């Protein structure tokens, strides 16, 4: 059985070592109100390195906003190296989306991704002003399974402390770290849509199912699959295929790649 306390300490020490080796004095984390960012920011706090936790609402669901605020206040109350900030980007977002972009209509999906990219720009502006780095909050399913993140949005980070953890492992680590129960029990959501849709509603499968699918892809089972398992596997494969461009390195043209060596 995994020792979650030991794993939390190991990740926090890894963050600390990386920061010290690279002369980094500040860790910048966007806190959404979800379990992934709550765990990541708590691990940063445990590293002992100055941690800035940013709540960046954009027409945010009140419940999500309150969970983010609550978590940041909890961090500040328990760690002296944590500084919370609220940066409301709603006006900036509205200004950009209401501009005439050469007569081009901005789709709902593009506007949702714009929210994530505005937050990325803000995180890097703060990081660049405080000898800092942006700490990623993506888990293994999102980052390497279904690509459920915004390219150059929440996917634009410097280090990723929990990207090797399945969602179930993130939840277990959250409990070990003492993350507020309401955050641990909240339905996972990316917070990019005005209607409060959950991750499961967007993807068509929950994280437990996606975790199963990712493991089955790595180690196929000889057992017959149920209809639901077949459906989940199709969902996983479709997202993995369509979002492959996010999870791979940017293609680079290489000169003289076909020429023979002299």
pLDDT 10s digits, 126-141: 999 999 999 999 999 9
Residue range 83-102: mean pLDDT, rounded? 90
Q: Is the pLDDT of residue 98 over 60?
A: yes
Q: What domain count does the chain have?
A: 1
Provide the residue range defining the domain that includes 173. 4-197
Domain containing residue 11: CATH number: 3.40.50.620
Q: What pLDDT was estimated at residue 55?
A: 98
pLDDT in tens, 39-61: 999 999 999 999 999 999 999 98
Residue 16 domain-assigned (yes or no): yes
Within a domain: 238: no
164 pLDDT above the threshold of 70 = yes
User: Residue 260 pLDDT > 60, yes or no?
Assistant: no
Assigned domain for 37 exists? yes
Instruction: Confirm whether 27 is domain-assigned.
Output: yes
| Overall size of the chain counted in residues | 262
User: Is residue 185 situated within a structural domain?
Assistant: yes
Inside any domain, residue 214: no
pTM above 0.75, yes or no: yes
Could you tell me if residue 232 is inside a domain? no
SS (H, E, C) the chain: CCCHHHHHHHHHHHHHHHHHHCCCCEEEEECCCCHHHHHHHHHHHHCCCEEEEEECCCCCCHHHHHHHHHHHHHHHHHCCCEEEEECCCHHHHHHHHCCCCCCCCCCHHHHHHHHHHHHHHHHHHHHHCCCEEEECCCCHHHHHHCCCCCCCCCCCCCECCCCCCCHHHHHHHHHHHCCCHHHHHCCCCCCCCCCCCCHHHHHCCCHHHHHHHHHHHHCCCCCCCCHHHHHHHHHHHHHHHHCHHHHCCCCCCCCCCCCCCC
261 belongs to a structural domain: no
């Amino acid at each position: 059985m995994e020792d979650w306390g030991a794993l939390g300490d190991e990740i926090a020490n890894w963050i600390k070592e990386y920061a010290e080796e690279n002369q980094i004095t500040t860790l910048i984390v966007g806190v959404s109100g979800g379990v992934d960012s709550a765990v990541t920011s708590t691990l940063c706090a445990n590293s002992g390195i100055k941690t800035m936790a940013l709540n960046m609402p954009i027409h945010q669901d009140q419940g999500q906003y309150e969970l983010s605020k609550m978590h940041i206040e909890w961090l500040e109350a328990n760690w002296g190296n944590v500084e919370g900030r609220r940066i409301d980007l709603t006006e900036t977002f509205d200004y950009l989306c209401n501009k005439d972009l050469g007569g081009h209509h901005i789709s709902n999906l593009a506007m949702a991704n714009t929210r994530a990219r505005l937050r990325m720009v803000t995180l890097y502006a703060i990081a660049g002003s405080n000898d800092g780095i942006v700490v990623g909050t993506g888990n293994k399913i999102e980052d390497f399974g279904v690509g459920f993140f915004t390219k150059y949005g929440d996917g634009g980070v410097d280090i990723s402390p929990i990207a090797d953890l399945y969602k179930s492992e993130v939840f277990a680590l959250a409990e070990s770290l003492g993350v507020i129960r309401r955050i641990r029990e909240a339905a996972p959501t990316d917070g990019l849509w005005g209607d409060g849709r959950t991750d499961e509603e967007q993807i068509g499968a929950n994280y437990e199912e996606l975790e199963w699918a990712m493991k089955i892809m790595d180690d196929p089972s000889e057992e017959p699959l149920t209809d639901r398992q077949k459906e989940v596997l199709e969902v996983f494969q479709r997202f993995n295929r369509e979002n492959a461009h996010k999870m791979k390195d940017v293609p680079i043209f290489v000169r003289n790649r076909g020429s023979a060596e002299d």
